[in-house]
Structure 1
Amino acid sequence: MGAVFFYELQGAPLETTLPMLLDKARGQGWRVLVRGTDPALLAQLDAALWQGPVDHFLPHGLAGGPHDADQPILLGDLPAAGFACVMAVGGAAVSAEEALLLARACILFDSAEHAKAQARLQWKTLTDAGIAAQYWAQEDGRWVKKAERDARSAGG
């Protein structure tokens, strides 16, 4: 059973933060699903990943291609089966059942009030199911852990 990390994007945009998190996940050897429900956002993220540093390319693809099963990072609105990590963007959800099977789930959201409200609901749902969670926010250009619930204290 993994954990869910919540990232409130206060300083850097999603296009900057996502590659950093993907790099860390791939460093763990995880196959990653970047889950989003908005095809335009996923296309934008795909383009941003292609424009990353040449010496630090993150191999990836948009779901629906002939080689989806071979992609170490896949962007799409898919079930978590076959992935070790799911990074939910643009308000996409991760269920408690999925989170229990993943090494890690990440919920990335901006500081808009509706996005924060949705993240709070996800936090409550997942921690009530007994899943460990951490909440990270940016302060002065660095990530700071603001809250944590371990699996023992979650669910109650």
Structure 2
Amino acid sequence: MQADFYLLESGGPELALAPLAGKVLETGGRLLVVAGEAGARERISQALWSAGPERFLANGVAGGDHDARQPILIAPDVAPANGARFLALADGVWREPGEGDFDRVLLVFGEAERVAARETWRLLKTREGWQCRFFRREGRKWTQAG
């Protein structure tokens, strides 16, 4: 399984997720975005809806009648009701994905979660079958760093 770590050096996850979600949709994939706080889930949803005219990022907040149809579902926990194979942990808190539920996990974290993200990195590197990559923003693009 692939785990990608995305360091937010400025701004919140709602701004950083649009390009990541767009890439998932370009591949024909579906994305589950997890954030524990209801306000964060709403901010993420609004940011994705207004990502720009060149990219339409339709999404829904979990708990609605059409969760299974959402290309991007925003939820408080790791329950891929939309059949997502990509998981974005938008609040910097690691949550164990179910065995075989996802192909790729994106951990989006800021300075406050940096120590916990390093611990998660070390843990995953000891697990069989996990590959980890680290990304930071350069301008408006995410680039792999090391």
Mark the CA change 1:64 to 1:80 in structure 2 (over 3 Å): closer, same or farther: closer
For 1:110, the equivalent position in structure 2 comes to: 110
Q: How large is the RMSD of aligned CA atoms in angstroms?
A: 2.0
Q: Does the CA-based 8 Å contact 1:11-1:138 persist in structure 2?
A: no
For 1:123, the equivalent position in structure 2 comes to: 121
Q: Which runs of 5+ in 1 are unaligned?
A: 148-156
Q: CA separation in 1, counterparts of 2:136 and 2:56? A: 26
Q: Does the CA-based 8 Å contact 1:34-1:76 persist in structure 2?
A: yes
Q: Which runs of 5+ in 2 are unaligned?
A: none
Q: CA separation in 2, counterparts of 1:99 and 1:92? A: 18
Deviations 1:118-155, CA, capped at 9 Å, x for gaps: 111211222221210001123455433223xxxxxxxx
1:52 paired with 2:30, answer no
> Which structure's CA Rg is the greater one?
1
Deviates more, 1:23-32 or 1:52-61: 52-61
Deviations 1:32-91, CA, capped at 9 Å, x for gaps: 100111111011111112222234211110001000011110001233443200000113
- Equivalent AA in structure 2 for residue 60 of structure 1: N
Mark the CA change 1:29 to 1:99 in structure 2 (over 3 Å): closer, same or farther: farther
Shift of residue 25, structure 1, vs aligned partner: 0.8
So what's the TM-score if we normalise by structure 1? 0.81
For 2:144, the equivalent position in structure 1 comes to: 145
So what's the TM-score if we normalise by structure 2? 0.85
- Equivalent AA in structure 1 for residue 134 of structure 2: Y
- Equivalent AA in structure 2 for residue 103 of structure 1: D
Q: CA separation in 2, counterparts of 1:41 and 1:52? A: 16
For 1:68, the equivalent position in structure 2 comes to: 67
Q: CA separation in 1, counterparts of 2:4 and 2:26? A: 17
Aligned residues: 143
- Equivalent AA in structure 2 for residue 111 of structure 1: E
